[in-house]
Amino acid sequence: MESFYTLQGEGFHQGKAAYFIRLAGCDVGCVWCDVKESWDKNLYPEQSIEQIVKDAKKNAGRLAVITGGEPTMYQLNNLTKLLHREGFLTNIETSGSHPLSGTWDWICLSPKKFKPPLPAILKKANELKIIIFNKSDFAWAAKYAGLVSPGCKLYLQPEWDKAAIVTPLIIDYIKENPKWELSLQIHKYINVP
Ligand code: SF4
């Protein structure tokens, strides 16, 4: 769908220069999705893996973030292989709703109620990022914290349009449950993509 060089705004790698590769297509259907234009892959031309990586190399950073849409809808072995060969670290942001392929330096799993993750990805996740839209999402978060591996980083992130309401709830929750950390979409505060 698009590629752009910016700062990672969320989660463990927040603040780092990163080249985002956003793959078109998603069948998860989150009501609050902020990239609904990504859902229909037929709206975007196919690009070769070689061209994607060639464009990525034009920038100084060597952290590639594969996102979507839902990137696991694609077979990603060849893309991650070529990114690694060219010196990139490979991060993925996924709901885990399709089988994972590719070789990853960091897996950010953000499960969605609308289409839950496949069990196989749960123990592989380096980071669990739960979007808090309303109060019931805390129970959803606690359930998934019990399913990931012990070393997995745990983040709660306010849904952008509900941030004024849910951020104080998240702060209180983290103070009571300090294994969790707050993730903010800082790219939206500093006005970068
Ligand atoms: S999984 Fe991501 S891209 Fe797909 S609908 Fe949900 S927020 Fe949007």
SS (H, E, C) 100-146: CCCCCCEEEECCECCECCCHHHHHHCCEEEEEECCCCHHHHHHHHHC
* Ligand 1 touching residue 29 (CB < 6 A): yes
SS3 content of the chain, % helix, strand, coil (to 5): 30, 25, 45
* Ligand 1 touching residue 41 (CB < 6 A): no
Residue 147 CA to ligand 1 center (angstroms) comes to: 21
Give pLDDT, residue 20.
98
For residue 11, CA distances in Å to 31, 39, 157 come to 22, 23, 8
* Ligand 1 touching residue 185 (CB < 6 A): no
Q: What is the mean pLDDT of residues 94-112?
A: 98
Atom of ligand 1 nearest to the CA of 32: 7
Q: Is the pTM of this model over 0.95?
A: yes
Give pLDDT, residue 27.
96
Give pLDDT, residue 66.
98
* Ligand 1 touching residue 9 (CB < 6 A): no
Place of tokens 């985002």: 20
Cis status of the peptide bond prior to 69, with omega within 30 of 0: yes
85 assigned to a ligand binding site: no
Domains of the chain: 2-189 (3.20.20.70)
Residues 107-144 have pLDDT tens digits of: 999 999 989 999 999 999 999 999 999 999 999 999 99
- pLDDT band with cut points at 50, 70 and 90 for residue 164: very high
Mean pLDDT of the chain: 97
Give pLDDT, residue 98.
98
34 assigned to a ligand binding site: yes
* Ligand 1 touching residue 26 (CB < 6 A): yes
Q: What is the mean pLDDT of residues 84-103?
A: 98
> Is residue 157 within 8 Å of 14, Cβ to Cβ?
no
Give pLDDT, residue 188.
92
- pLDDT band with cut points at 50, 70 and 90 for residue 166: very high
